[in-house]
């Protein structure tokens, strides 16, 4: 099997595995997105993209309000928006336009100066675990987890280039009994969510110790709520050059004279 074929097969296996593993973490939401068009505006691709993003934001807000409702909370839309921050597209793993309705007379947009509106129907897959974590911290789903209580922690591993390596990391992640859910597979990168009572630094230290025979794990900080970890093969100490030893002198050869 050629390297290209192996790479394709590995990527396909990762994609299939990720689709099945991450499905429970996502909720599919259909929504309508619209943007106002002022007099003289031509609409076009810019308006279409803006309407798509508006539809995704609407889908994320609806999913967040639904989570709050399921938890018995009565959070307002304004409180949810404030908790989620300004970039709601971060909570959608993927989205697309189902129907491009284009320009029409304003029905949804009532802002001053809106002469027309651009409307699309959107399909978005929203990450509920990420929404739940953010709403929990904002106090919209009840009390924030106390130290030592099990909570969801998202981790991105950089440098994982094989399924076998990922399964080894996954076993180490789950060694203390927490569920592990892979969320994203890409070339050299895997994002997973683990149920744990540990904080990020403690978990990185535990993983590093468990895998230290052949792997070196380093914390690369945080990206929002995601712990970043780089993974590299450990170089055996006997293979490393001895920088303290002087270069060996060539063995003198007897003279032929």
All domains of the chain in start order, with CATH: 24-137 (3.30.110), 151-237 (3.30.70)
- Round to whole Å and give the CA distance between 20 and 148: 30
Q: What is the pLDDT of residue 226?
A: 78
pLDDT value of residue 81: 84
Contact in structure between 49 and 34 (CB atoms under 8 Å): no
Element spanning 122, H or E: strand 116-127
Which single residue is written with the structure tokens 């284009």?
Answer: 102
Which residues, 6 or more positions from 83, have their beta carbon under 8 angstroms from its beta carbon?
64, 75, 134, 135, 137, 138, 140
Q: pTM value? A: 0.50
Contact 157, 227 (CB under 8 A): no
pLDDT score for 4: 46
Backbone angles phi, psi at 234, to 5 degrees: -80, 135
Which residues neighbour 104 within 8 Å (Cβ) at sequence distance 6 or greater? Answer: 116, 117, 119
Which residues of the chain are under the pLDDT cut of 50? 1, 3-24, 145, 239-240, 242-245
The separation between the first and the last C-alpha atoms of the chain, rounded to the nearest angstrom, is 59
Burial (CB < 10 A; 0-12, 13-18, 19+), residue 92, is buried
Q: Write out the DSSP string of 182-245.
A: EEEEETTEEEEEEEESS-HHHHHHHHHHHTTTTEEEEEEEEETTEEEEEEEEPPPGGGS--TTS
Count CB neighbours of 133 within 10 A: 20
């Amino acid at each position: 099997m050629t390297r290209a074929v192996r790479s394709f097969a590995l990527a396909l296996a990762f994609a299939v595995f990720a689709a099945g593993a991450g499905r429970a973490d996502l909720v599919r939401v259909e929504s309508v997105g619209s943007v106002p068009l002022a007099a003289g505006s031509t609409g076009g691709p810019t308006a279409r993209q803006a309407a798509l993003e508006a539809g995704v934001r609407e889908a994320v807000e609806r999913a967040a309000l639904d989570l709050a409702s399921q938890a018995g909370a009565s959070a307002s839309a304004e409180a949810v928006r404030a908790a989620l921050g300004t970039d709601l597209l971060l909570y959608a793993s993927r989205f697309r336009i189902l129907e491009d309705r284009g320009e029409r007379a304003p029905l949804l947009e009532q802002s001053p100066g809106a002469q027309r509106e651009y409307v699309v129907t959107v399909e978005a897959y929203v990450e509920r675990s990420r929404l739940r974590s953010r709403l929990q911290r904002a106090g919209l789903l009840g009390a924030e987890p106390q130290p030592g209580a099990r909570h969801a922690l998202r981790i991105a591993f950089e440098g994982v280039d094989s399924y076998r390596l990922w399964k080894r990391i996954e076993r180490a992640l789950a060694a203390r009994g927490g569920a592990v859910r892979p969320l994203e597979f890409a070339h050299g990168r895997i994002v997973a969510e683990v149920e744990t009572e540990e904080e990020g630094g403690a978990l990185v230290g535990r993983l590093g110790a468990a895998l230290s025979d052949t792997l070196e794990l380093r914390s690369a900080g945080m990206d929002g709520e995601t712990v970043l970890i780089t993974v590299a093969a450990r170089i055996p100490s006997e293979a490393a050059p001895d920088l303290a030893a002087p270069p060996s002198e060539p063995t003198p050869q007897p003279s032929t004279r």
